[in-house]
Amino acid sequence: MIAIVDYGVGNLFSLKSSLEAVGADVTVTGDAQVLRQAERIVLPGVGAFGDAAKKLQDSGLAEVICQEANHGKPLLGICLGMQMLLDVSYEYGEHKGLGLIHGAIRPIADVIPAGYKIPHIGWNALQFPEQKHPVFRDVQNGEHVYFVHSFHGTDCADHVAATTEYGGILTAAVARDNVVGCQFHPEKSGDVGLRILKAFCQGEF
């Protein structure tokens, strides 16, 4: 069973549907016990980092997620859920993340030239490093996924699992062994996104 963490942020209908479309048995839950029993965990999120991180801490689920990830359970963060995997975010202040992957969330405006629209919204191409994380095993360089974001991961060099180009180089995905984060929305990225979700649901890492 795959658990989608429900901590009151955003709408999980599409995410649940997309995981079901790749054959997963999915539970949407805010229950620590269910997260402990799950084989894999998906951490979604939309909105502001500070609010979401506080909700995750206050619910007590942050601790459970970290424990499970540190014991090797596959964890996939999506969009804001990916950002929360990192140590810290500088979105409207300074907010602590889960610290499962080293790095900091900073404005994409720091690396893109003036004249580019922010947020970065739309379909953009992925570029992978030579050593591709298994979650991206079925996706090729140059395939497109759907992004909606104004901040991205920085200082996570060793753990950058994919990048995308938008006037500058943006972090599209991060990964450290069993912990993976996608800045883009695999549940809204058509066939390419479903391939990533399928690899997450079935892969060994």
Partner 1 sequence: MITKRIIPCLDVKNGRVVKGVNFEGLSDVSSPTALAKYYSDNGADELVFYDITASAEGRALFTDILCEVARTIFIPLTVGGGINTLDDFDRVLKCGADKVSVNSGAIRNPALIGEAAKRYGDQCVVLSADVKRVDGVFRVFAKGGRENTGMEAIEWIRRGVASGAGEVVVNSIDTDGVKNGFDLELLQEVCNAVSVPVIASGGAGCIDHFTQLFQAIPTIDAGLAASIFHFGEVAIPNLKEELHKQGIPVRR
Q: Is 17 in the site for partner 1 (CB under 8 A)?
A: yes
Evaluate the omega torsion of the peptide bond into residue 119 and state whether it is cis, within 30 degrees of 0. yes
Out of 68, 79, 120, 182, which one is annotated catalytic? 79
Whether 152 is catalytic: no
Out of 133, 156, 185, 201, which one is annotated catalytic? 185
Residue type at 146? Y
Whether 79 is catalytic: yes
Cβ atoms of 35 and 64 closer than 8 Å: yes
190-202 vs 13-21: helix axis angle to the nearest 10?
Answer: 70
Name the minimum Å distance from CB 136 to partner 1: 17
Burial profile 64-73: b = 16 or more Cβ within 10 angstroms, e = fewer: bbbebbeeeb
Which x/- pattern over 164-193 shows residues binding partner 1 (rule: CB under 8 A)?
-xx--------------------xxxx--x
Q: Is 117 in the site for partner 1 (CB under 8 A)?
A: yes
Q: Is 96 in the site for partner 1 (CB under 8 A)?
A: no
Whether 201 is catalytic: no
| Residue 49 vs 136, nearer CB to partner 1 | 49
Cβ atoms of 3 and 41 closer than 8 Å: yes
Name the minimum Å distance from CB 4 to partner 1: 14
Name the minimum Å distance from CB 132 to partner 1: 21
Q: In 3D, which of 41, 32, 33 has the Cα closest to residue 1?
A: 41
Q: Is 109 in the site for partner 1 (CB under 8 A)?
A: no
- Please say whether the dihedral angle defined by the alpha carbons of residues 3, 28, 80 and 49, taken in this order, is positive or negative: negative
**Residues paired with 152 in a beta bridge:** 106
Q: Is 89 in the site for partner 1 (CB under 8 A)?
A: no
Map tokens 């990533």 to a residue.
Answer: 196
Residues forming the site for partner 1 (CB under 8 A): 11, 13-14, 17-18, 20-21, 46-47, 117-125, 144, 146, 148, 165-166, 187-190, 193-194
Catalytic residues: 79, 185, 187
